[in-house]
Amino acid sequence: MKLTIIGCGYLGATHAACMAELGHDVLGMDADMDKVRVLNSGKAPFYEPGLDDLLAKHTASGRLKFTASYAEAARFGELHFIGVGTPQQAAENAYDLTHLFSAIRRLATHLLGPAVVAVKSTVPVGTAAHVAKILEESAPAGGKVQVAWNPEFLRESSAIEDTLRPDRLVLGFDSEQSWGEAVLRQCFRKIIEAGTPTIVTDWATAELAKTSANSFLATKISFINAMAEVCEATGADVHELAEILGHDVRIGRSGMRPGLGFGGGCLPKDLRGFLARAGELGVDRALTFLHEIDAINNGRRERMVALVREQLGDTLASRRITIWGAAFKPGTDDIRDSPALAVAQGLHELGATVTVSDPKALDNARKHHPELGHVEDPVAAARGADLLLHLTEWPQFRHVDPERLARRVRTAKVIDGRGTLDLGSWRRAGWTVRALGRA
């Protein structure tokens, strides 16, 4: 098939490369010319494992191209995926849909014949109808343009695997007899034939699928982090508790790692966007618990700052603190709502001199947090530190030798915010050790 993807960020660029891998002819469209140039050279403008290889393979095979022109995208094929960002509004909890509606409008003016517009961007429930109205009013093809809702559940760091072998496919339409369904089934034929559960539903259910899935995942994480607080107060160990709970198949172990809480471009914003939409719909009481989920999550960052003050005293001026971790999670260079950087910024505001270390996210951290020090090598980053914070699940930090490190720092004090350091070996190497979720 010939298809396009409008918006080539983490979601869109990955989707474009994966659709080419499935055998389609793909045109990715993004308004950012620099991004288009990098993508056309077969590289990703961000770090995602395996994506450079896939982009290089398919820009070379001729199955994948990128453009900044809506007109070219509209002419290219009859299936257009929309993957533009829907961030949180600057001063509100609600989603900012400006980019989405503007992309739809600009594409619409060039749609001269039948087409399917399949939206993957995460939105408040009710947006599909609005998108359909814009298309009907602005596209010369009018009613011949169909809207399909196809939420995307990929996780950064395993985005290719999640796209090519998803847990499920969700396809939302406004009527049971939609020719758009046949178009999308053809597009995803290989994935469907591999046995992927495929749920065809209405627009509202498809829209809700994404925000409710992310709210559930956030709830699971905040639940175990609430237990971490109880553990800290009682001498229990939250990591062992999580394992015990996880053996119950009704609860499950995955997505319930305690630590500094969730961040990134999705979970925090989807919780808040969902709450805002529930308010508009008059069902906010049903979702009040999500406020608490958000508050527990922010509480872990505050708790980390409190632990630092416990270790170093209230006056942090002239104190040197090294933070391992800048990305919001391992396997990405994405620093959106990064818990580690939120702690770093908080400590900087309290007067500390803070240096962060991360294998992939330092360029982004430098750009958005010039007030911090940035050193890639974990050992060099800790030179002269009064305190080390382990705030990441990147595995390489776990393998640093605590004995060697003890000789570089000013004071051998560490706080483990992720629960993955072998604390026994750190203690034996002379470190004073504290951890979230452990007495």
Enzyme catalytic residues: 266
* Beta-carbon-side half-sphere exposure of residue 406 (alpha carbons within 13 Å): 14
301, 329, 360, 413: residue in contact with ligand UDX (rule CB under 6 A): 329
Q: Choose which of 78, 156, 294, 333 interacts with ligand UDX (CB under 6 A).
A: 156
Segment lying near ligand UDX (by CB under 6 A), choices 37-45, 148-156, 233-241, 243-251: 148-156
**Total interface residues for ligand UDX by CB under 6 A:** 20
Q: How far is the CB of 429 from ligand UDX (least distance, A)?
A: 27
Binding status of residue 255 toward ligand UDX by CB under 6 A: yes
Residue 162: CB minimum distance to ligand UDX, A: 7
- Quick one: 7 or 264, whose CB is closer to ligand UDX? 264
Quote the CA–CA distance of 233 and 103 in Å, as a whole number.
51
Q: Which stretch binds ligand UDX (CB under 6 A): 40-48, 149-157, 178-186, 283-291?
A: 149-157
Q: Are 389 and 304 in contact (CB under 8 A)?
A: yes
Residues numbered 263-282 forming contacts with ligand UDX, rule: CB under 6 A? 263-264, 266-267
Q: Using the rule CB under 6 A, is 435 a contact of ligand UDX?
A: no
Point out which span in 30-38, 80-88, 138-146, 147-155 binds ligand UDX (CB under 6 A). Answer: 147-155
* Alpha-carbon gap, residue 274 to 51, rounded angstroms: 30
Contact 178, 146 (CB under 8 A): yes
Angle at 316 between CA 310 and CA 319, to 5 degrees: 105
Query: Of 214, 215, 322, 353, which one interacts with ligand UDX (CB under 6 A)?
Result: 214
Question: Residue 336 and residue 159: Cα distance in Å, rounded?
Answer: 17
Q: Please, what is the angle between helix 289-312 and helix 339-349, to 10°? A: 50
Concatenating the DSSP letter of every residue in 207-263 gives HHHHHHHHHHHHHHHHHHHHHHHHHHHHT--HHHHHHHHHTSTTT-STT---SS---
Does 7 engage in binding with ligand UDX (CB under 6 A)? no
Residue 25 bridge partners (DSSP): 2
Residue 256 binds to ligand UDX (criterion: CB under 6 A) = yes
- Residue with smaller CB distance to ligand UDX, 67 or 420: 420
Instruction: Write the CA distances from 173 to 179, 181, 199, 213, 366, integer angstroms.
Output: 10, 8, 11, 19, 43
Q: Which is nearer to ligand UDX, 153 or 324 (CB)?
A: 153
Can you tell me which residue has the tokens 């829907």? 86
Which residue, among 84, 73, 77, has the nearest Cα to 28 in the 3D structure? 73
Identified binder of ligand UDX from the candidate list 46, 66, 188, 262, rule CB under 6 A: 262
One residue of 46, 328, 394, 397 binding ligand UDX per CB under 6 A: 328
Q: What's the half-sphere exposure (Cβ side, CA atoms, 13 Å) at 11?
A: 20
Contact call for residue 153 and ligand UDX (CB under 6 A): yes
Binding site for ligand UDX (CB under 6 A): 152-156, 214, 217, 221, 255-257, 259, 261-264, 266-267, 328-329
